[in-house]
Structure 1
């Protein structure tokens, strides 16, 4: 069992290699030149983490998130957060970009590892999150369209974006 855990952790670290860099590249390409990007590793406070996990019935993948602060000059213009959710059996890594009011301005799938359900990577599906904030409804199958053949992945990503949106709203003054 210990051997399995060690192999799993080595595989996971290999699979995750380059994810942070890919996310930062995505952030920089979204904003273009003239913006400064600063990455922080944000430890999610235990009480907030537990409350959101219970509300959305979905665990955070880790106790911390990578968050990028996007500046124009000295003014904070946006933040981007990287998180993971489980699809059917493997993690889906996604990035959500928020304005300073914690409204979604972009969502991207950074790494999709499942053999089925890849339609969640499509920009057309991800665009429906734009403009949503912590007070928005993220009801899967109603406000957020389901995807035939990607029900588990689409539902997981929807919950993950909703959970991350509420988290960013809670912590925006700390950023």
Structure 2
């Protein structure tokens, strides 16, 4: 009985995990416009098959991995993700250059009373320059802890590391 209930909950969570709220998409688009200093751009979704998606740690679906294109020119890539905080989740954006080197990270929506310091531009800059070829980012070594935001800091660090590992899988399988 417990296994069936757990399986049902897991399926429901997976199905709902692929939905990106409009509010989050709008914030991501605003951030992309600001970062690339452009008014108009096109997001071209990168489709990842279910088989390849199961080989990655990050989830790809609901148009959360995309190319950023202006007038036929590739500017970079973007990923919208969701990670756990103490009692809720937060949505984040990772922007990459054309070589999949992180150029910007941004917490789009943080849903907790405490730990919002992970939204700080200064703190988020620690992820810039990381790539699938980089060593894994280490909490309390590469990534500075924040008092009162330990869970969110560790979660964001894990999410970025998982994304970089997943991008490496997609590159190896010639998806991107």
Q: TM-score, normalised by structure 2?
A: 0.76
The CA distance in 2 between the partners of 1:27 and 1:167, in whole Å, is 22
Shift in Å, 1:161: 1.2
Deviation larger for 120-129 or 21-30: 21-30
Shift in Å, 1:21: 1.6
Shift in Å, 1:43: 5.0
Contact 1:38 1:70 in 2 (8 A): yes
Provide the residue aligned with 1:56 in structure 2: none
Residues 141/52 of structure 1: CA separation in 2 closer, same or farther (3 Å cut): farther
The CA distance in 2 between the partners of 1:64 and 1:44, in whole Å, is 10
Provide the residue aligned with 1:33 in structure 2: 38
SS for the counterpart of 2:143 is coil
The CA distance in 2 between the partners of 1:163 and 1:64, in whole Å, is 18
Contact 2:74 2:98 in 1 (8 A): yes
Provide the residue aligned with 2:26 in structure 1: 21
Provide the residue aligned with 1:105 in structure 2: 103
RMSD: 3.2
Query: Deviation digits for residues 124-151 of structure 1, max 9, x if unmatched?
Result: 0000111001232311111111111100
SS for the counterpart of 2:64 is strand
Gaps of 5+ in 1: 54-58
Contact 2:33 2:39 in 1 (8 A): no
Shift in Å, 1:164: 1.4
Shift in Å, 1:64: 4.6
Q: TM-score, normalised by structure 1?
A: 0.77
Q: 1:75 aligns with which of 34, 58, 73?
A: 73
Higher strand share: 1
The 5-angstrom pairing of residues 1-175 of structure 1 reads 16-33=21-38, 36-40=41-45, 42=46, 44-53=48-57, 60=59, 63-136=61-134, 137-171=136-170, 173-175=174-176
Shift in Å, 1:29: 1.5
Contact 1:97 1:107 in 2 (8 A): yes
SS for the counterpart of 1:133 is coil
Q: How many residue pairs align between the two structures?
A: 162
